[in-house]
Protein backbone atom coordinates (compact mmCIF):
# COMPACT_ATOMS: atom_id res chain seq x y z
CA UNK A 1 0.00 0.00 0.00
CA UNK A 2 1.27 3.41 -0.91
CA UNK A 3 1.26 6.11 1.75
CA UNK A 4 -1.40 8.73 1.12
CA UNK A 5 -3.51 6.42 -1.04
CA UNK A 6 -7.26 6.97 -0.45
CA UNK A 7 -7.81 3.35 0.55
CA UNK A 8 -5.08 3.56 3.19
CA UNK A 9 -7.21 5.98 5.19
CA UNK A 10 -10.23 3.66 5.05
CA UNK A 11 -8.16 0.74 6.33
CA UNK A 12 -6.94 2.59 9.44
CA UNK A 13 -8.44 1.62 12.75
CA UNK A 14 -10.92 4.14 14.19
CA UNK A 15 -8.53 5.01 17.04
CA UNK A 16 -5.73 5.72 14.58
CA UNK A 17 -8.05 7.90 12.49
CA UNK A 18 -9.17 9.79 15.57
CA UNK A 19 -5.56 10.39 16.60
CA UNK A 20 -4.71 11.64 13.10
CA UNK A 21 -7.75 13.93 13.14
CA UNK A 22 -6.68 15.35 16.51
CA UNK A 23 -3.18 16.03 15.24
CA UNK A 24 -4.55 17.76 12.16
CA UNK A 25 -6.97 19.80 14.28
CA UNK A 26 -4.18 20.79 16.67
CA UNK A 27 -2.12 22.04 13.74
CA UNK A 28 -5.03 24.10 12.38
CA UNK A 29 -5.78 25.49 15.81
CA UNK A 30 -2.13 26.42 16.34
CA UNK A 31 -2.01 28.25 12.99
CA UNK A 32 -5.23 30.18 13.69
CA UNK A 33 -4.16 31.12 17.20
CA UNK A 34 -0.76 32.23 15.94
CA UNK A 35 -2.45 34.41 13.32
CA UNK A 36 -4.81 35.91 15.92
CA UNK A 37 -1.91 36.51 18.33
CA UNK A 38 0.10 38.23 15.58
CA UNK A 39 -2.81 40.56 14.81
CA UNK A 40 -3.33 41.29 18.50
CA UNK A 41 0.35 42.08 18.89
CA UNK A 42 0.39 44.33 15.81
CA UNK A 43 -2.55 46.31 17.18
CA UNK A 44 -1.13 46.54 20.68
CA UNK A 45 -3.75 44.39 22.40
CA UNK A 46 -2.56 43.52 25.92
CA UNK A 47 -1.99 39.79 26.50
CA UNK A 48 -4.70 39.61 29.18
CA UNK A 49 -7.23 41.20 26.83
CA UNK A 50 -6.25 38.77 24.07
CA UNK A 51 -6.66 35.79 26.40
CA UNK A 52 -10.02 37.10 27.65
CA UNK A 53 -11.25 37.62 24.08
CA UNK A 54 -10.14 34.11 23.12
CA UNK A 55 -11.94 32.63 26.14
CA UNK A 56 -15.09 34.64 25.39
CA UNK A 57 -15.05 33.46 21.77
CA UNK A 58 -14.61 29.85 22.91
CA UNK A 59 -17.54 30.10 25.31
CA UNK A 60 -19.65 31.78 22.63
CA UNK A 61 -18.92 28.84 20.33
CA UNK A 62 -19.66 26.31 23.10
CA UNK A 63 -22.98 27.26 24.73
CA UNK A 64 -23.23 23.96 26.63
CA UNK A 65 -19.86 24.62 28.29
CA UNK A 66 -20.89 28.18 29.14
CA UNK A 67 -24.11 26.89 30.74
CA UNK A 68 -22.18 24.25 32.69
CA UNK A 69 -19.75 26.85 34.04
CA UNK A 70 -22.64 29.18 34.97
CA UNK A 71 -24.34 26.31 36.81
CA UNK A 72 -21.12 25.51 38.70
CA UNK A 73 -20.67 29.17 39.64
CA UNK A 74 -24.29 29.39 40.78
CA UNK A 75 -23.95 26.29 42.96
CA UNK A 76 -20.68 27.59 44.42
CA UNK A 77 -22.43 30.87 45.26
CA UNK A 78 -25.29 29.01 46.95
CA UNK A 79 -22.81 26.92 48.95
CA UNK A 80 -20.95 30.07 50.01
CA UNK A 81 -24.21 31.64 51.21
CA UNK A 82 -24.99 28.48 53.18
CA UNK A 83 -21.52 28.33 54.70
CA UNK A 84 -21.74 31.95 55.85
CA UNK A 85 -25.22 31.39 57.32
CA UNK A 86 -26.96 33.77 54.92
CA UNK A 87 -29.00 30.96 53.41
CA UNK A 88 -30.64 28.14 55.30
CA UNK A 89 -29.53 24.59 54.64
CA UNK A 90 -32.23 22.17 53.56
pLDDT digits (tens, 9 = 90+) for 6-25: 555 555 678 999 999 999 99
- Judge if 24 and 1 occupy the same domain: yes
Q: What's this model's pTM, rounded to 2 decimal places? A: 0.64
Say yes or no: 27 and 41 in one domain.
Answer: yes
Do 41 and 54 share a domain, yes or no?
no
Q: Is the same domain home to 84 and 50?
A: yes
Whole-angstrom distance, CA of residue 30 vs CA of residue 59: 18
pLDDT of residue 53: 96
- 3-state DSSP: the chain helix, strand, coil percent, rounded to 5? 80, 0, 20
Residues 4 and 39 in one domain: yes
Asked if residue 36 and residue 76 are part of one domain, the reply reads no
Amino acid sequence: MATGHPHTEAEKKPAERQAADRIELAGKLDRHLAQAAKLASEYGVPPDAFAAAAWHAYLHASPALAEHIERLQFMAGIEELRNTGRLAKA
